[in-house]
Amino acid sequence: MRVQRYEDAATFLSRAQDVLRAEPVTTTVIGTVAGRAAAHPSPVASGTPQWWATLEDGPHVVGLAMRAAPWSPFPVHVGPMPEPAAAALADALLAEQPTVTEVNGAREAALAIAARLASASASSIETAMHLRLHELADLEVPADPPGRWRLATVADGDVVLDWYERFHAEADEQAGRPPDPNPPHFAPGELEARIDDGLMSLWVLDDLPVHLTAWNSPAHGVVRVGPVFTPREHRGRGYAAAAVARVSAAALEAGHRAVLLTDQANPTSNALYERLGYRPVTDMVNLRIVAN
């Protein structure tokens, strides 16, 4: 079993294309992140690791991984892979700098890798978040609430940035978790690029933004929706359902599959997506390796 690393996203995509095409739903995060990096290459901040990897058994690619998040402590994200591949990747990560303390992604692979890393440093594993990947089956379109849906513009940048930050903080609060000490954030220029690419939308009421739904560029025929955020004072009025339905319908009309990730600790959002026609595919997890 061999771990082949790539610092160039386009080169990685070329090598990984058979797996990404065969399993575009379960590899959606890796596919979209690598695709975005290839489409919008930008300098990486000093001290920030950025790489993608294929796990190879002879001539065959049997798993994918990446360390491409721009926020500390730079979690590793893994797709589904057989146990020997997970062991090989974990062994390679033991020499990684900065030290890997977070492993996210496909549940079984992430658990196997985190366990091997924790054992090597006499540490423990904490589950930061249980996630579930859903795919849209038959879309149930709800009635529109007052207002209208539109794409976000550069002029909306401050609102979008604020709501992205609040999305993560309030998700932790709703789930009864302590605040994430290292919440996700945009790389330099990423927010502007996503707005320019038409990947963020707002529901507005009398020109006042009341809701945000974003999504990712298609990767091997799959569009991943999210994040979805409504400020507290505007919740319960149907904005999220209407906006997610619009984005999902657009993906289907373009010939793509629509997927999204949910926090299993948030029954409200899970119930909403189920009503719209999303169905569970697989479980994912965010893990932390902590000193005893």
Q: Residue 132's closest CA among 260, 283, 274?
A: 283
The string of pLDDT tens digits covering residues 219-264 is 999 999 999 999 999 999 999 999 999 999 999 999 999 999 999 9
Mean pLDDT, all residues of the chain: 96
pLDDT at 188: 86
Spatial CB neighbours of 55, under 8 Å, sequence gap ≥ 6? 1, 2, 3, 4, 61, 62, 63, 64, 65, 81, 85, 88, 89
At 199, which amino acid appears?
L
The string of pLDDT tens digits covering residues 5-21 is 999 999 999 999 999 99
pLDDT at 175: 87
Residue 223 in 3-state DSSP?
strand
The string of pLDDT tens digits covering residues 32-51 is 999 999 999 988 988 999 99
At 80, which amino acid appears?
P
pLDDT at 243: 98
The string of pLDDT tens digits covering residues 198-213 is 999 999 999 999 999 9
In DSSP notation, 51-102 reads EEEEEEETTEEEEEEEE--SSTT--EEE----HHHHHHHHHHHTT-SSPP-E
Asked if residue 58 has pLDDT above 90, the reply is yes
Q: pLDDT exceeding 90 applies to what percent of the chain?
A: 93
Domain 136-282 class, CATH top level: alpha beta
Average pLDDT over residues 60-83: 97
* Lowest mean per-residue pLDDT among 46-50, 83-87, 212-216: 46-50
State yes or no: cis peptide before 178, omega within 30 of 0. Answer: no
Helix residue ranges, H only, the chain: 9-22, 28-39, 83-93, 107-120, 157-175, 190-196, 239-253, 267-276
What's the distance, CA 161 to chain centroid? 17
Alpha-carbon gap, residue 15 to 69, rounded angstroms: 21
The string of pLDDT tens digits covering residues 119-148 is 999 999 999 999 999 999 999 999 999 999
pLDDT at 158: 97
Confidence of residue 169 (pLDDT cuts 50, 70, 90): very high
The string of pLDDT tens digits covering residues 252-280 is 999 999 999 999 999 999 999 999 999 99
The answer to whether 269 and 263 have CB atoms below 8 angstroms apart is yes
Alpha-carbon gap, residue 180 to 271, rounded angstroms: 24
Average pLDDT over residues 179-208: 93
Residue 22 in 3-state DSSP?
helix
pLDDT at 182: 86
The residues spanned by each domain of the chain are 2-132, 136-282
